[in-house]
Amino acid sequence: MSHEYIPKSIYEGAYLYANGIPLVSVIFRKECRNATFIFDNKDGIARRVSDEYFSDASTPARSLFSALGQLKEEANRAKPKQWTTKRNDEVS
């Protein structure tokens, strides 16, 4: 069993985060302009919470949206400082 879990989307990641699964790392990839979120999966807990997300997710919307915003902030912090975002969202 892997001790790390990578969600398939930021929304799944937000569900994990909102349910208290520790975020281990964020990797930002310039070529596809997205972030990969890596969560702790000790004892398979992240996998079980992920299975819950895909079956009958029941986290309050406010918690989920808050977690989504926090993950976006983490992704921005993972972005190297030399990359700047222009007003029209072009990355230089």
Q: Please compute the mean of the pLDDT values over residues 38-59 and round it to a whole number.
A: 91
Mean pLDDT computed over every residue of the chain:
84
Ranges of H-type helices in 4-91? 10-18, 45-56, 61-78
Res. 50: pLDDT tops 70:
yes
Q: Which two tokens stand for residue 55?
A: 């079956």
Q: What does the pLDDT read at residue 1? A: 59
Predicted confidence at residue 51, as pLDDT, reads 93
Distance CA 6, CA 83 (A): 24
pTM listed for this prediction: 0.76
Look at residue 78 in the predicted model and tell me its pLDDT: 82
For residue 61, name the pLDDT band (cuts at 50, 70, 90). confident
| 30 vs 53, higher pLDDT | 53
